[in-house]
Structure 1
Amino acid sequence: MDLPDIIQFFLHYGGHFLAPFAIGRIFWREHWWKAGLIMVAANAIDIDHLLADPIFDPGRCSIGFHPLHTGWAALAYAAMLAIPSWKWRALGLGCLWHLAVDSGDCLIQITGL
């Protein structure tokens, strides 16, 4: 593993499993820990990878390829932000954040950074 791969690894997994707690702290101070857990649970949208063949392809961009990683899915996640419950908003934001992190991976793959 060279340095760019190590950086991408930490950005990807830090984005999926650490950043949600920081985001939860920003938006839901009194529930930040629970909000962080809900946002981490939003990573469950990766279940759609099981529909692909092969299931895991390190060179494949998941955005636009997997059903829960499409623009239509993003609209549904954004709609969750309108639900007057911090838990649903945390889930919607967690799903959108997941798409943002995966988009960053795609950008790194495309540009070869």
Structure 2
Amino acid sequence: MGARAIFHLFLHAAVPALLAWLFWRERFGRAWALLLLGWIIDIDHLLADPIYAPGRCSIGFHPLHTAPAIAVYAGLTLPRRTRLFGIGLLVHIALDAIDCLWMRYAG
């Protein structure tokens, strides 16, 4: 696993932690856990062959990384009960999109 992939995985934990600390500090642990649940959408990688391809962009390739799914994630941010989970899903998608750009432009 290369440095880009390791950094990408680190960001998937660190960015939710930072957001939880900045915006939900009084309930940091719960907020961070709900934001980390956004990682669950990577279960769709199990449908791919190979399951892990370091140079493959997830956005638009895996079913839970497509525009219709992202619209659902945005909708989950509206009800208070699912808001943190929805934000976690959108953060996950944003980090994956940044990774796609990094792969495309940084080689």
> With structure 2 as the length reference, what TM-score do the two structures score?
0.89
Query: What letter matches 2:31 in structure 1?
Result: A
**For 2:33, which of 31, 37, 51 is the aligned residue?**
37
Secondary structure, aligned partner of 2:80: coil
Secondary structure, aligned partner of 1:63: coil
Distance 2:6 2:58 in 1: 18
**For 2:97, which of 95, 99, 103 is the aligned residue?**
103
Question: Which residue number corresponds to residue 80 of structure 1?
Answer: 76
Query: What letter matches 1:64 in structure 2?
Result: G
C-alpha spacing 1:41/1:84, structure 2 compared with 1 (3 Å): closer
Structure 1: any 5+ residue segments left out of the alignment? none
| Identity value in percent | 43
Q: How many residues align?
A: 107
Distance 2:61 2:74 in 1: 19
Distance 1:21 1:37 in 2: 9
Question: Which residue number corresponds to residue 88 of structure 2?
Answer: 94
Write out per-residue CA displacement over residues 37-59 of structure 1, whole angstroms, 9 at most, x where no aligned residue: 11112201100001111111111
Structure 2: any 5+ residue segments left out of the alignment? none
Query: What letter matches 2:56 in structure 1?
Result: R
CA RMSD of the aligned region, Å?
A: 1.6
Write out per-residue CA displacement over residues 63-111 of structure 1, whole angstroms, 9 at most, x where no aligned residue: 00001101111111110111022xx111100010001111111001110
> With structure 1 as the length reference, what TM-score do the two structures score?
0.85
C-alpha spacing 1:83/1:21, structure 2 compared with 1 (3 Å): same
Question: Which residue number corresponds to residue 49 of structure 2?
Answer: 53
- Give runs of ≥4 in structure 1 deviating > 6 Å: none
